[in-house]
Structure 1
Amino acid sequence: MDHTDYKASGGNMNLPKYVTNMPHQHALILVGSETIYGVHMTQYHHEEHKYQMILELELPEPARKEYLRMRKTWPEMPLVLCNDVNDPLMVPDLGGGTRQDFAANFFPGLFPLDQLKPGEEESMHFFPWSADIMKPVMPEPFEVSVRRVVLFRPFNHQELLPQYANYLIWGEGEEAHMTHLQTAHMASNKYDAPAFGPDYDHIMSLKHAPDWVHPSLLRAGITVSVPSIRLRAAGKKRRVSLPTLRPFRYKQKFEVLYRGIGQPYKARAGYTFVFGPQVSTSPAIMPVPDMSLPGAEDPERTMFMKEAPMEYWADQRKTSNLKDEIGNE
C-alpha cells in the first residue's frame, strides 16, 4: 500500500483526502501464560494509535521462556512488546489480517518520565521503547505470529463516556484478563486544537477465570459493566469523574454486570499492568488531581505502570541526570 498521500490526509483529519495510517511502532502489553495475548496501548490524539486491539500471539520458544521467567519474577511488571523500528506497521494491518507476523522485541516497564529530556515526551515522534531510551530483553528481534484477533475496535469520536465503566473479559482455560472499553470523545470545538477524552486505559488479569462464563464465550470475550466505577457524577450536569487510583488491588473481589444488566457476578482481581489516563487522553484535557486531597502527589493518580529496572535503560540514560546535563549547556 502506498502511503505517500498521508501528509495530505492523515495529518489533517478534519477533511481527509484519503484515509490511511502512517506505518509506525506500536506497544502491546503482554498478558497470560498458557495463552499469550498482546493488548494495544491506545492514544486518542494520534491517528496511528486510535484503536483498541487484543491479539492472541505465538512467540518463538526462547522469547516465550524469557517472557514467562520475567512474568514470574515481576508479576505486576508491564512487559511491552513492540514491533521493530525496521518493521513499521499499521494497527489495522494486524486487526484486519493483512499481516500475520512481524519482527519485535519486548521491554520491562516504562522509562521514568522524570528522567526524560525537557519536551521529549511531547515530541510527535516520541516512543518510550526506542533504542536510545530502553534496552530490549532479547539480544535480537524475533518473529511474532498472530494466531487470532480477539478484539479490533477503532475509536469513534462521537461516542460518549457511559455512566459506569464497561470492560471486556476474555481468556482461555484457567486464565482470564480484563481491559477497560474506552471512549475517545472529541472534547474540543472547531476553534480549538483537536483534543479527545478524558478516559483511561486499564489492562489487568483476573486471579482465575470466572466459573460463570461458558468457555466459548470467555474465549471470544464478553462485555461487562462495573457498578463500583462511576465515570459520570450524579446530577443533571453528569460531570466526568474518572477513578484516580487503580480500581482493584490484587485478590480483591468485585462485582460486574454481564452486558451491563441483570444480577451481579463476582470476579477476583489479579495483577494490574497499566492503569490511568496519561497515555491515552489528550494532554490538553488530562485530569488534574486535587492537590488538597491526601496522597494527591501519588503518581498512581495519573499513571500506574511500573518503572523499568535500570539494567534495561539505554547506556546513555544511566551516565548522568539528563535534566541537569541540559541545564548546564
Structure 2
Amino acid sequence: MSTAPESTQHGDHQHFHRFLILGKEKLFFYHLALYNPAYGHNYQAVFTFEIKDDGSLRKMYLEDLKKNENNWVFYSLYCPDHFELPKLKEGKEFNVHLERVVVSEGGAKRDFQKMTTAVTKVVCKPADVLHFRELGGLEYPDYLTYLVFGEGQEIHLAHQLAKQPNWDEVVTVTPQQAIDPAMLKKVPTLVIESIKDPKDVIKESKLKKGQKYQGKINGSSPAIDFTVGRQGWWNHTSLNNA
C-alpha cells in the first residue's frame, strides 16, 4: 500500500482523492491535502457527504474505530474516480472504498488498508462543502490556529495549513462551553493564544490528549475551554513533498 496521503499517477496527473472520516454521531469528512499543486490535492476542505448505502459502511467504520480507539489508526474514504477536487463545489456523486490507515515510524509511515471490496456511492451537494480553500498566500499565524467544525460535544480541530513547510492534523475535542451551531457551519478558526505557532514543520502535536486548553473563535470570542481527545489525522512528511 502507498504511504503517501494521496494516491496519484504523477505522469498523467490523475487525481484520486482521500477524505478523512471524523466523528461518531455525525460524520464529517476532511480532504487529505498536499502542498504541491501538480498533484491536484492543494486544497484544505471540510465536507458532509451522504453515503448511499444501507448504513453498512458507517457500521463497519464505527466497529473498527471502537477496536482501535487508543491506537494510532485513522479512517478515510478513498475515491477511485478521477476528478478535480473543485468539482465538488458544484455537487457530485462518486465512488469510495472505506480504508483503515495504520500509522508507524513516529508518524512518518501510513499504511492504507482497504476494508471494503465493492464501491459505495457518495453524494456531495454544494451545501455539503463547509470549507474549501486552495493552499498558498496565507502567512504563518502568531499563535496556534485551527479550523473548527463539528456538532454538539463532538468538535474537530484541523490545523490551518498556512505557509509551507507545515503539518496537517485533526483532533477531536470536547468543549466546556457550547459553540453556536451556525458559527460551526462556517468553519471559523480557533486561536490558541497560549501556544506560539512554530512557523515550521513539527513532528508531534502541540495538543496533548487529555489536557485542557483555551481558544478563541476567530481570535476574538470569549475563551472556550476544551479537552483534547482522539487524534484523527497527522502528516508532517508527504504533505510538504516537492
1:91, 1:135 → 2: CA distance? 23
Please give the TM-score of this superposition, normalised by the length of structure 1. 0.61
Q: Does 1:97 align with 2:63?
A: no
TM-superposed CA distance for 1:108, in Å, is 0.9
The offset of 1:230, in angstroms, is 1.7
Kept in 2, the 8 Å contact 1:249–1:271? The answer is no
Gaps of 5+ in 2: 1-9
In structure 1, the residue matched to 2:32 is 41
Mapped contact 1:30–1:36 kept (Cα < 8 A): yes
Paired-residue identity, %: 20
SS in 2 for 1:42: coil
**How high is the TM-score relative to the length of structure 2?**
0.81
1:224 maps onto 2:190 in alignment: yes
Aligned position for 2:171: 204
Match of 1:54 in 2: 46
- Give the structure 1 partner of residue 129 of structure 2: 149
Deviation at 1:265, TM superposition (A): 2.2
Structure with larger Rg: 1
Question: Per-residue CA shift, 1:282-301, capped at 9, x if unaligned?
Answer: 35xxxxxxxxxxxxxxxxxx
Q: CA deviation at 1:198?
A: 0.9
How is 1:1-329 mapped onto 2 (pairs within 5 angstroms)?
Answer: 22-47=13-38, 48-59=40-51, 60=53, 61-75=55-69, 77-84=73-80, 87-94=81-88, 96-99=89-92, 101-110=93-102, 135-146=113-124, 148-156=128-136, 158-184=137-163, 197-206=164-173, 208-232=174-198, 240-261=199-220, 263-282=222-241
Q: Deviations over 1:151-206 (max 9, x none)?
A: 111112x322122121111112332111011114xxxxxxxxxxxx1111011111
Q: How many residues align?
A: 223
Distance in 1 separating the partners of 2:200 and 2:75: 29
In structure 2, how many angstroms separate the alpha carbons of the residues matched to 1:142 and 1:149? 20
Give the structure 1 partner of residue 4 of structure 2. none
Q: Aligned AA for 1:27?
A: R
Q: Which amino acid aligns with 2:75?
A: L
* Structure 1 pair 50–268 and aligned structure 2 pair: CA distance change class (3 A): same
Question: 2:74 corresponds to which letter in structure 1?
Answer: P
Q: AA paired with 1:142?
A: T
In structure 1, stretches of 5+ residues that fail to align are 1-10, 12-20, 115-120, 122-127, 185-196, 233-239, 284-329
Is the 2:74–2:233 contact (alpha carbons within 8 Å) kept by the matching residues of 1? Answer: yes
